[in-house]
Amino acid sequence: MTDRPVVTRFAPSPTGFLHIGSARTALFNWLFARHSGGKFLLRIEDTDRARSTPEATEAIFAGLKWLGLDWDGDAISQFDGAGRHAEVAHQMLENGKAFRCFSTQAEIESFRETARAEGKSTLYRSPWRDVPETDHPDAPFAIRVKAPREGKTVIQDHVQGDVTIRNDQLDDMIVLRSDGTPVYMLAVVVDDHDMGVTHIVRGDDHLNNAARQMLVYNAMGWDVPIWAHIPLIHGEDGKKLSKRHGSLGVEEWAAEGYPASGMRNYLARLGWGHGDDEFFTTEQAIDWFDLSGIKKSPARFDTKKLANLSGQHIACATDTEVLSGIQEYLTLSGQKSLTDSQVADMSRAMYCLKDRAKTYPELIEKAHFILTQRPLHRDEKTELLLDSVHIGMLRELTPQLQTGSWDRETLERNVQSLAEAHETKLGKLAGPIRAALAGRSVSPSIFDMMLVLGREETVQRLKDATA
Ligand code: GLU
């Protein structure tokens, strides 16, 4: 199996959004496929017709696209394969690996009730397993796969190690219901086999399923893929990740303005590692990713770490990448896109906006000075900085800025000597100047703002503030 080219898959059931845990599963499969030069396939497990709306499926596509996880070929619908799944069930029947079970729902229920009352195992053993066909009634039947009665089934898992299940704990699982519909457990195996999947990375909530899926592989004589069941993500308190811990859907994080590159980096670190590396690019992750780097203990979702990595990714991205990330964020959060002239202004200022912004909204806040227009609206806190003493100082500064060269050194010297003349510190002057130039307390340095705004606009803003 291992010498075949790697084929991984992501097989989400549409739930209306792309859960952060599913996104990580998708990422691991994608990274492994890209690392190995193999394929990453997408299968929508849409057999639950009530939940599988086009919108719910679209939400998965959108989440994956935002994260930059491109899949090979077209997404496959599990529901569409129902005919093929039934065909395999009948094949098992022909090969003697499965049998027709004529037990009715009522019979099975009554068996279970009695078993429960007597404190016995509720595992149903169909009496039809060994009944010859000549004795079969002309009645509806389900197809059940014959599970081994003795011995053990060992699941060799890349993360969990060998997981052993006693065969006497496995029932003869129904693979095809009496109405002709395949069960989920059959569909998964047939699809994975037909798609040529070599490696399955998924949440360890599916580990129990693996034992039952093994029955189908064995009955069909198919190669069992390499399994890697990864521990589920926990919240900061160590409990299973839930709404209480923050946003669960990838699209919510996107709408909050986290860059996709930061999210990819963070999700990769959730349960996988390459030495002590925290910050890395997607190219590096592809280069390094291996199943042996997956951790056995559950990772904890830590919003601060995500924010921290996100900030580093914004700082390292090209200006074009940041701007397109911002436009995407604005769309996803239902805000107006930047106009061409705002994009041009932001591009000029980008060198002093990119660092120390953890999210796009933080960066936009920092860019307020360039996105806003005179006369500036100042928030209350900033207005207080413009007291009469400081207004006096700014009035002195304005004419000095009208002459002389417009470079950082000269600007710094001007403000520095003004501070000295008033026996104060440059830092004390920065607040009022920031109030005049940006109207709020978050902005790049006053000199960066002056340089980006240019002489005329700077002088006008100072005059407005001191009028
Ligand atoms: N459809 C399953 C889920 O969304 C995944 C099944 C699998 O990976 O085998 O949890």
CATH code, domain with 417: 1.10.10.350
Q: Is the peptide bond before 12 cis (omega within 30 degrees of 0)?
A: no
Which structure tokens are listed for 100?
């027709």
> Average pLDDT of the chain?
95
Which structure tokens are listed for 322?
């940041």
Q: Would you place residue 247 in the very low, low, confident or very high pLDDT band (cuts 50, 70, 90)?
A: confident
- Please confirm, yes or no, whether 239 is among the known catalytic residues: no
Residue 425 lies in a domain: yes
d(CA 39, CA 6): 6
pLDDT at residue 1 is higher than 60: no
pLDDT, average across residues 17-29: 96
* The pLDDT value given to residue 244: 82
What pairs with residue 143 in β-bridges?
100, 176
Task: Pick the catalytic residue from 146, 243, 366, 381.
Answer: 243
Residue 417 has a CB neighbour count (10 Å cut-off) of 13
From 230, 261, 277, the end of a domain falls on 230
Residue 299 lies in a domain: no
pLDDT, tens digit, 9 for 90 and up, residues 124-155: 999 999 999 999 999 999 999 999 999 999 99
41 CA → ligand 1 middle, Å: 13
Phi-psi map region of 297: left, alpha, beta (phi>0 left; psi -120 to 50 alpha): beta
From 204, 230, 256, the end of a domain falls on 230
Task: Indicate which atom in ligand 1 lies nearest the CA of residue 15.
Answer: 4
pLDDT, tens digit, 9 for 90 and up, residues 391-437: 999 999 999 999 989 999 999 999 999 999 999 999 999 999 999 99
d(CA 1, CA 9): 16
pLDDT, tens digit, 9 for 90 and up, residues 237-246: 888 888 888 7
Least confident of 65-74, 165-174, 304-313: 165-174
238 CA → ligand 1 middle, Å: 23
Range of the domain at 462: 380-466
d(CA 245, CA 206): 23
The residues lining ligand 1, judged by C-beta closer than 6 Å to any ligand atom, are 11-13, 45, 188, 202, 206
Query: Which residue among 202, 207, 209 has the greatest number of ligand 1 atoms within 8 angstroms of its CB, and so is best to mutate?
Result: 202
Task: Indicate which atom in ligand 1 lies nearest the CA of residue 12.
Answer: 4
Looking up residue 191, the CATH number of its domain turns out to be: 3.40.50.620
Query: Which residue among 188, 195, 199, 216 has the greatest number of ligand 1 atoms within 8 angstroms of its CB, and so is best to mutate?
Result: 188
Helix, strand, coil fractions of the chain, as percent rounded to 5: 50, 10, 35
From 184, 200, 230, the end of a domain falls on 230
* Tally of domains in the chain: 2
Residue 365 lies in a domain: no
Starting at the earlier edge strand, list the strands of the sheet with 161-166. 161-166, 152-157, 226-230, 199-203
Residue 8 and residue 29 in contact, taking contact as beta carbons nearer than 8 Å: yes
* The pLDDT value given to residue 86: 98
d(CA 78, CA 85): 9
d(CA 248, CA 265): 17
Residue 351 lies in a domain: no
pLDDT at residue 248 is higher than 60: yes
207 CA → ligand 1 middle, Å: 11
Q: Whose CA is nearest to atom 2 of ligand 1?
A: 12
Give me the phi and psi of 165, to 5 degrees please.
-125, 135
Residue 335 lies in a domain: no
Residue 193 CA to its chain's centroid (Å): 26
* The pLDDT value given to residue 245: 82
pLDDT at residue 4 is higher than 90: no
* The pLDDT value given to residue 2: 54
Helices then strands, counting H and E runs in the chain, come out as 20, 10
d(CA 100, CA 93): 8
Starting at the earlier edge strand, list the strands of the sheet with 174-176. 98-101, 142-145, 174-176
d(CA 41, CA 70): 9
Residue 357 lies in a domain: no
205 CA → ligand 1 middle, Å: 9
* 309: Cβ contacts below 8 Å, ≥ 6 apart: 262, 265, 266, 269, 278, 279
Residue 283 lies in a domain: no
Locus of tokens 């107006």:
336
Task: Indicate which atom in ligand 1 lies nearest the CA of residue 10.
Answer: 8
pLDDT, tens digit, 9 for 90 and up, residues 112-126: 999 999 999 999 999
Q: Whose CA is nearest to atom 7 of ligand 1?
A: 11
Residue 60 and residue 77 in contact, taking contact as beta carbons nearer than 8 Å: no
Among 24, 32, 43, 42, smallest CA distance to 6 is for: 32
Q: Would you place residue 289 in the very low, low, confident or very high pLDDT band (cuts 50, 70, 90)?
A: very high
* The pLDDT value given to residue 50: 86
pLDDT, tens digit, 9 for 90 and up, residues 342-384: 999 999 999 999 999 999 999 999 999 999 999 999 988 899 9
pLDDT, tens digit, 9 for 90 and up, residues 443-457: 999 999 999 999 999
> What long-range pairs does 444-448 form, CB within 8 A, spacing at least 24?
444/349, 444/352, 444/353, 444/366, 444/369, 445/352, 446/415, 447/408, 447/411, 447/412, 447/415, 448/349, 448/351, 448/352
Residue 444 lies in a domain: yes
Task: Indicate which atom in ligand 1 lies nearest the CA of residue 188.
Answer: 9
* The pLDDT value given to residue 241: 87
Among 329, 331, 340, smallest CA distance to 364 is for: 329
Q: Whose CA is nearest to atom 10 of ligand 1?
A: 12
13 CA → ligand 1 middle, Å: 6
